[in-house]
Amino acid sequence: MFRRNFKVKGEDVDDYMVMQDTAYIEYTSSILFAFLFEKGYTSKKREHTHFNMQKSIGSLIQRKHLMFMQDFFINLELISIDTNKQKLNIRNRFFNSNNELCVTTNTYLYWMDSNQQEIIIPPKKIIDRLFE
């Protein structure tokens, strides 16, 4: 499990000071890139290997609103990889400062060859490092 702390900012909220769905998706991307960076996959390294990633949000389930200026944290969990080794299932859970679950997102990550523009099976060492 990978965790990061955040605070709801002005650009994240609507007129009622409630965090918007688009902000949850942005934070989901942000924590994913932080996780990959920590595992050694910087954007420079991904460019060098010609591996790109395509994200797809499978679901966003809201239980409780996060409000403007509220502290929160996200737990990123790698759930599974499909049998073809092409699609990684990731769950992000957003908790408020009282440790109450607010939102759950399920994301699918596909590895792409940026030259061929097609979904590929990443090298085994990449997958193994992610699940360490």
DSSP class per residue in 43-59: HHHHHHHTEEEEEEEEE
pLDDT at 99: 97
pLDDT at 40: 83
CATH of 2-130, one of 3.10.129.10, 3.40.930.10, 3.40.640.10, 3.30.450.40: 3.10.129.10
pTM value surpassing 0.95: no
10-19 residues labelled b (16+ CB within 10 A) or e (exposed): eebbeeeeeb
Cβ atoms 95, 101 nearer than 8 A: yes
Among candidate residues 115, 38, 120, 124, the one with its CA nearest the CA of residue 76: 38
Distance CA 96, CA 75 (A): 11
pLDDT at 118: 85
| Under-50 pLDDT residues of the chain | none
Q: Where are the domains of the chain?
A: 2-130
